[in-house]
Structure 1
Amino acid sequence: MARERATALLVDFDGVLRRWDPAVAAGVERRYGLSEGVLTEIAMQWGRLQPVLTGQVNHADWMTSVAEALAGPAGSPDRARAAVEEWQRYRGEVDAEVLAFIRAARAGGIRVGLATNATDLLDADLAALDLTGELDVVVSSYRLGVNKPAKEYFQAACEAVATPPARVLFVDDEDWSVRGARAAGLSAHRWTGPGDLRYLRAALAY
């Protein structure tokens, strides 16, 4: 049986609406004599990351723990803190094509929400990237206390856009998140780049 056409869209932040230039972290690592990829590797260790995504600790505490773990490779706690601070000054870039797609969808009557695993810096990041007001709702794991791909996260996200799961299209660049959305009853598309926009426009038919 064919699914109902989606009338609401949920879009992931990192990897979809916001891009990260890997050259920035690589440059910091070179300047501080660190191995390539170590900043992200340490920060994304699930035992360190999950608490900040669910509001158990704040972003500053998370970065302190990253600096502490980095102190040995960096040669000293001061160098580790300096490396992390320089790395964190970069807050990513907006994908202009995705933003244009979101604006067109909203103009066409589609409710659009940002559905993201995030820290307490999310609002500041949205403001810094001039995205405040560009979405109908923002669904943050930090505020909910539960992260994607939990079913409870997607239930809350659908409630936020006031749309039943069967009428919601979710877009994310992570397979595990897409699978979680589908398990919760949403339509879901794994983002691979702006080439996907043609399909998404057709799926929404706004």
Structure 2
Amino acid sequence: MTVVLFDLFGVIARHQSTEGKDRLVRTAEVPAAAFWDAYWACRQPYDQGELTGPAYWRQVADSLDVRFDAHRIADLIDADIAGWSAVDEVMVALVEELAASGRRIALLSNIPEELATYYEEHHPWLKRFSLRAFSCRIGHAKPDLGAYEWCLNALRAAPDRVLFVDDRDENIRAAETVGIRGHRFTTPERLREALTP
């Protein structure tokens, strides 16, 4: 039986909301363009677990040549979590259905520790996944090939027995480089078709 390895954001969970983005910029009190340049430039070490939330936000502040005190950093962490917290209930239902049918499902997500902890505390359906490979805990973030190799080792599965579902082409291509089959997610209906024998 094929293992279905899901991405989280853009597949089961929503991408960062517009409201969440606006809240972050307001909280930081810096121009939006400069903020987002710094936010993403510093993000991979945070996603890979090399930085704590406060350390990440201090790096962002340094990149912006400003200072965030401890209170503002706490507010930024809260705002960041809130902006990534929405899920697609149709996809959650599909995950539940696959698990109930005995299908083996796993998760590979680029996610920092604070957000991973939030999801674990607020979304019990995460327990349906036989493997939860969070980048902050495995030390690899997509599209680093090490992320997919880590999952294959943990799943004890041959690459051609794994179907990776992600919304980003670069992540699909990386998975295919190590022999994993890929499905670029567009809609729950198309994914359901791809999963039907």
Give the alignment's TM-score, normalised by structure 1: 0.78
Matched, 1:175 2:169: yes
Find the aligned partners of 2:53 and 2:110 in 1 and give their Cα distance: 13
Find the aligned partners of 1:150 and 1:26 in 2 and give their Cα distance: 30
| CA RMSD, 1 decimal | 2.7
Aligned residue number for residue 80 of structure 2: 88
Contact 2:46 2:56 in 1 (8 A): yes
1:14-72: per-residue Cα shift (whole Å, max 9, x none)? Answer: 22222121222214435765433554432211xx2222233322233112222333454
Contact 2:116 2:134 in 1 (8 A): no
Find the aligned partners of 2:17 and 2:165 in 1 and give their Cα distance: 21
Are residues 89 and 122 of structure 1, via their aligned partners in 2, closer, same or farther at CA, if it must alter by over 3 Å? closer
1:85-144: per-residue Cα shift (whole Å, max 9, x none)? Answer: 452351411211111111111122221111012222254122243234132210122222
Q: Which runs of 5+ in 1 are unaligned?
A: 1-5
1:114 corresponds to which letter in structure 2?
L
Aligned residue number for residue 101 of structure 1: 94
Find the aligned partners of 1:123 and 1:82 in 2 and give their Cα distance: 16
Find the aligned partners of 1:198 and 1:81 in 2 and give their Cα distance: 40
Q: Which runs of 5+ in 2 are unaligned?
A: none
Aligned residue number for residue 158 of structure 2: 164
Aligned residue number for residue 14 of structure 1: 9
Find the aligned partners of 1:59 and 1:82 in 2 and give their Cα distance: 9
Identical positions, percent: 25
2:8 corresponds to which letter in structure 1?
F
1:199 corresponds to which letter in structure 2?
R
Give the alignment's TM-score, normalised by structure 2: 0.82
Find the aligned partners of 1:101 and 1:175 in 2 and give their Cα distance: 22
Aligned residue number for residue 120 of structure 2: 127
Deviation at 1:162, TM superposition (A): 3.4
Deviation at 1:202, TM superposition (A): 2.6
| Matching residue within 73, 97, 106 for 1:113 | 106
Correspondence list, 1:19-58, <5 A: 19=14, 20-30=16-26, 34-36=30-32, 38-45=34-41, 48-58=42-52
